[in-house]
Every structure is written in C-alpha cells, then in structure tokens.
Chain A
Amino acid sequence: GAVVSQHPSWVICKSGTSVKIECRSLDFQATTMFWYRQFPKQSLMLMATSNEGSKATYEQGVEKDKFLINHASLTLSTLTVTSAHPEDSSFYICSAYTPTAGNQPQHFGDGTRLSIL
C-alpha cells in the first residue's frame, strides 16, 4: 500500500517548452504533496508544499510563476515547468503525505528526469 505514481519518468525537450509532471497517490488520499528538485550529486531541495484545494507554498528562491503547482484533488498534484531552460534540467521528485497511510510519513514517487536542450 501507499503507492505514489509519478509521470513521466523522463522528459527531453527544447528550451522554451512547458513541461507538466503528474504525481498521484494510488491507494490513499494525500492531504499534502511535496515537490523536490535534486541536482546531480546533491541533496533533495524542497521546492513547494501543496495542499488540496489551496495555493501552494513555495520555498524561498523558487519562482512560483515558473513552477506552477496544481493540487486539484486529494490524489493528484501537478508541477508545470513553464518556459523551461537548460538550467531547469534536474531530477524532480514528488512525495505524498497523509498521517494514516503506512508507517512512513512521506511516500515518494519515482522521480522525473527533465533534460532541456
């Protein structure tokens, strides 16, 4: 149980393109979803926290107009990287939180490797 599905797993696109990444909790309802970015050989850096039906809370230094987060339901959150540029190339990971799903508090998706040419 407590499975989080993240799609796509790998995206390669041209500079200027917008890319949407989906994060779904398959067998539980997530009260909160988190979006992380991980550059090569670095740690996971929290980008934003989203709660269903409300605006996402962005961490300092993360542009909310560039990284659009939508959390329309308790099982789906999306991250859209708008007008992506090579410096946005990274590994993006979502996680879903609910106090009742499994014995670990955050359940991670498999991640999306984004490469901007």
Chain B
Amino acid sequence: GENVEQHPSTLSVQEGDSAVIKCTYSDSASNYFPWYKQELGKRPQLIIDIRSNVGEKKDQRIAVTLNKTAKHFSLHITETQPEDSAVYFCAATANNAGNMLTFGGGTRLMVKP
C-alpha cells in the first residue's frame, strides 16, 4: 500500500518568512495530493491540492509543487503569519477522486510574531 513520509515534524519560522514542508510517497500510481491544515481539536481543512497532470499550483501565499519522477511534493507558504500556526498534513491517493487517502505524519508549524 501507499506510504507517505513528511518532514520536518516541527518547523518554527519568524513572521514574514517562508515555510516549506516536504512529503514523499511510495506508490507511483498515486495521482492526487491534498494538503490539510488542522488546528487543535478541529477537523482537517483542505488548503490546496494538486493532481498528477500538473507540476505546480499556487493560491495566494500557498503553493504546492509535485515531482512525479522523484515521488515527492512540497507545500510552500510565503509571508507567514501567526494565524498560519497549525499542524499541516500531506496526503496521497491512487484514486484520482481522492478516495482512500494516506496521510503523512504531520508538521507542526509555529510562526513567531
């Protein structure tokens, strides 16, 4: 089955700096890669996703890149703000519609004011 590794497990940045979180996956058939933000005690919220037919996607301060050959994808947050502090999870699935997600271990991002 799919295995998703996520690094780093914790990340502390100064407000205004950029943050990068990286994930690798094992199943070459995976073709959908969402990123979730989870605040303490709350549901995961989809913040951005990418499908295997594109290499990069951007939404304001958030971007995701995908390297299918190397089987890794990354989340980039620019101009970080204190409200970006949360746990971020990457995920992957071999079903293009997002069925059966396998999650990475999570990254606790702390943005210091």
Contacts and interface: CB of A to CB of B under 8 A. Distances in A.
A92 B3 CA distance: 21
B43 interface: yes
22 contacts: A32-B99, A42-B105, A43-B89, A43-B104, A44-B103, A93-B44, A97-B97, A97-B98, A97-B99, A99-B97, A104-B46, A104-B49, A105-B32, A105-B93, A106-B99, A106-B101, A108-B44, A108-B45, A109-B43, A110-B42, A111-B41, A111-B43
Interface in A70-117: 91, 93, 97, 99, 104-106, 108-111, 113
Contacts of A99: 97
B92 to A, nearest CB: 12
B64 to A, nearest CB: 14
A24 B37 CA distance: 22
Interface of B: 32, 34, 41-46, 49, 89, 93, 97-106, 108
A15 to B, nearest CB: 23
A23 to B, nearest CB: 12
Chain A interface size band reads: 20 to 34
Contacts of B103: 43-45
Contacts of B44: 44, 93, 108
Nearest to A44: B103
A105 B98 contact: yes
A91 B40 CA distance: 11
**Interface majority SS (helix, strand, loop, mixed), chain B:** loop
A49 B41 contact: no
Given A44-B89, A104-B34, A104-B49, A93 B43 contact: yes
Interface in A39-59: 41-46, 49
A61 to B, nearest CB: 13
Contact of A42 (B32, B45, B97, B106): B106
Contact of A43 (B42, B46, B97, B105): B105
Contacts of A43: 89, 103-106
Contacts of B49: 104
